[in-house]
Amino acid sequence: MSSQRTFSIIKPDAMRKGHAGAILAEIDKAGFRIVAIKKLFLSKSQAEGFYYVHAHRPFFDSLTTFMSSGTIIALALEKENAIADLRKLMGATNPANAEEGTIRKKFAGSIEENAIHGSDAEDTAAFEIGYFFAGLELV
Say which of 19, 54, 56, 117 is annotated catalytic: 117
Of the candidates 19, 80, 122, 1, the residue with the CA atom closest to the CA atom of residue 9 = 19
Nearer to ligand CMP, 3 or 65 (CB): 65
CB contact at 8 A, 47 and 67: yes
Backbone angles phi, psi at 18, to 5 degrees: 75, 25
CB contact at 8 A, 70 and 12: yes
Nearer to ligand CMP, 52 or 59 (CB): 59
Nearer to ligand CMP, 124 or 139 (CB): 124
> From the CB of 15, what's the least distance to ligand CMP, in Å?
14
Residues that bind ligand CMP (CB under 6 A): 54, 59, 63, 93, 111-112, 114, 117
Does 117 qualify as catalytic in the annotation? yes
For CA atoms 73, 108, 19, 103, give the dihedral sign.
negative
d(CA 59, CA 30) in angstroms, rounded, equals: 31
> From the CB of 139, what's the least distance to ligand CMP, in Å?
25
> Which positions are annotated as active-site residues?
117
